[in-house]
Chain A
């Protein structure tokens, strides 16, 4: 009995380790040419995303971030190279992985399809074959979780930018995807909505371990959405890879037309003035470090 239990436990641990290490997305030097002749060649660092990771693709406007997401979503066919999502080729086998991927597109107005907010959130879940009663239950739950229950009967067209983003996010999450794709999730929304959405996504990742890939050009919100990131050069070259803190502190992102958050600039300036500060993106942490240094200098 003990042996059987131990064998089962070992099998479970192996399965968990395997799941943890499972590659969700694997992109190897893909090239795509748009109708206008613009060529985007996504190469450089290998683009690999493991299960449970929160990853950001950073780059200036027009660098090729959205093209990378289109490859993952199977919306464009590469001229050359290889894209694998959950072990499948998304451009050819998207139907097999569609229900495992939730997407919030850059222009959410074009993504909102349902006649009402409730219908829109239920849209994908019903398309993926979830029973109506279960869909109702899940839509109600996500409406409450994102604090948009009062919007349930509203027409999507008349919502504000922040409200539309939340509805699109709810629609992407209602069928509990394993991978969440966010194309510029914080673009065009106010500060309060940004904080709310970032807080919600952070909590969701902690609770479910959902794999998340975001494209971001506003560096102030990156640390809320990702732990690791790639920096993309104009034309699609994946030039840098590392933790978000490492990318900001160990590289000059100005070369990539990206401005680091003010907290990074402040720490770098203070280091030049002789302050021994640890790298952090958390303003409260920086304040504590400065307070501790000043106190030690005042009361040695």
Chain B
């Protein structure tokens, strides 16, 4: 799976998503979800990570189910299976393809500023997640969570969140400074893998 060219994987992903959007039966959708999980296992991907990443859309599913009424159990199952199968396929694609390769393909048909925006979003996720992890660790180490005093814990969580927000704003200012001094002109270049 890791060795399949990124372009082929991207086309396959698009076809799988199209297929999943058109399947209306629970057994077929279950089979597709099972196939995605099987691919993840045979590709030696960390199964726990795949499952955790697949869980992210469940938040939106909960909001969706709370906001609509008169939906049948079968319809609920179809939506859940479809969402998890699509998310699973996307997760497998991202975990088996290097982002410069994805970036390289997208650069062929998307305008430069969009690629730059997508790229910065992707790059920021790494930096912000590092920062968030540090704040979370410090919060635990300094006894920020006290289950006996939920109100105080919530208040401290708010402070930590505020701290994170300020930190993020300062960081984005520094990234903007770096872009300025490095002569950024709304384009990110990928010159391909260099061998030899």
Listed in ascending order, the chain A residues whose CB lies under 8 Å from chain B are 70, 73, 75, 94, 98-99, 101, 103, 105, 107, 109-111, 113-116, 118-119, 122-124, 126-128, 132, 136, 140, 152-153, 155, 157, 171
Contacts and interface: CB of A to CB of B under 8 A. Distances in A.
Contact of A119 (B177, B182, B184, B189): B189
Interface stretch (B80-88, B97-105, B140-148): B97-105
A152 B193 CA distance: 8
Contacts of B174: 105, 107, 110
B181 A171 contact: no
Contact of B178 (A110, A132, A140): A110
Instruction: Give the interface centre of B98, B174, B183 by most chain A CB atoms within 10 Å.
Output: B183
Given A115-B100, A123-B189, A152 B178 contact: no
Contacts of A70: 177
A152 B194 contact: yes
Main secondary structure of the interface of A (DSSP, over half): helix
A153 to B, nearest CB: 5
Given A113-B178, A114-B189, A132-B191, A98 B98 contact: no
A123 to B, nearest CB: 6
B178 A136 contact: no
B126 interface: yes
27 contacts: A73-B177, A75-B177, A94-B180, A98-B181, A98-B183, A105-B174, A105-B177, A107-B174, A110-B127, A113-B182, A113-B188, A115-B188, A119-B100, A119-B189, A119-B191, A122-B189, A122-B191, A123-B189, A132-B191, A136-B191, A140-B194, A152-B194, A153-B194, A155-B99, A155-B100, A157-B123, A171-B182
Nearest to A73: B181
Contacts of B119: 115
B189 to A, nearest CB: 5
Size class of the contact patch on chain B: 20 to 34
Given A105-B174, A155-B100, A113 B181 contact: no
Nearest to B186: A127
B61 interface: no
A105 B123 CA distance: 18
Contacts of B183: 98-99, 124, 127-128
B185 interface: yes
A105 B183 CA distance: 14
A101 B181 CA distance: 8
A116 B182 contact: no
A124 B193 contact: no
A155 B123 CA distance: 10
